[in-house]
Amino acid sequence: MIQRFAYLNIWEKLDNSAFTAVFNYAFEIATSESKDLTLIVNNVKQCSDFIDKFIDKTSSKKLQKGDVLSYKGVNISLKSPFSLKSHQNYGLFCAFHPSDKAISSMEATREPLAIVILGEHEDHLNTWIENNNVQLLAQS
């Protein structure tokens, strides 16, 4: 059964500490469950505004090139919704401002352990929360 978590807030309150906290939350789950952590952004080539908030620039560039980073025994990769394959297992997802396509792509993959998202109060995210057993990490 997929665990689902969401941190929603207004854009002005989604600062570096919010991105870091959501990443750390997902990373702790991945560590405790010995699973891979797949970061999801809508566009890999234009994601540095998001992932540079919690990962150093060198690691960020490696992820954008498709490299897999290993940190404390957890493999971390970066994907867009268009590069996810439904037959593949990605461990758990940590998504930043996911589109409706990103949400459906994550849900369609093979047995994800968890989906952790950070985003604004948008209709597609609110619908996802209402239709699934999503635990809110924080909401304003």
Q: Delimit the domains of the chain by residue range.
A: 3-139
Beta strands in 12-140, from DSSP E residues, in sequence order = 37-40, 69-71, 74-79, 92-96, 114-119, 134-139
Per-residue pLDDT tens over the stretch 18-64: 999 999 999 999 999 999 999 999 999 888 888 999 999 999 999 99
Report the pLDDT value the prediction gives residue 1, as an integer from 0 to 100. 86
Report the pLDDT value the prediction gives residue 125, as an integer from 0 to 100. 95
Report the pLDDT value the prediction gives residue 113, as an integer from 0 to 100. 96
Q: Please say whether the beta carbons of 77 and 68 come within 8 A.
A: yes
pTM greater than 0.85 (yes/no): yes
The CATH fold assigned to 3-139 is Rossmann fold (3.40.50)
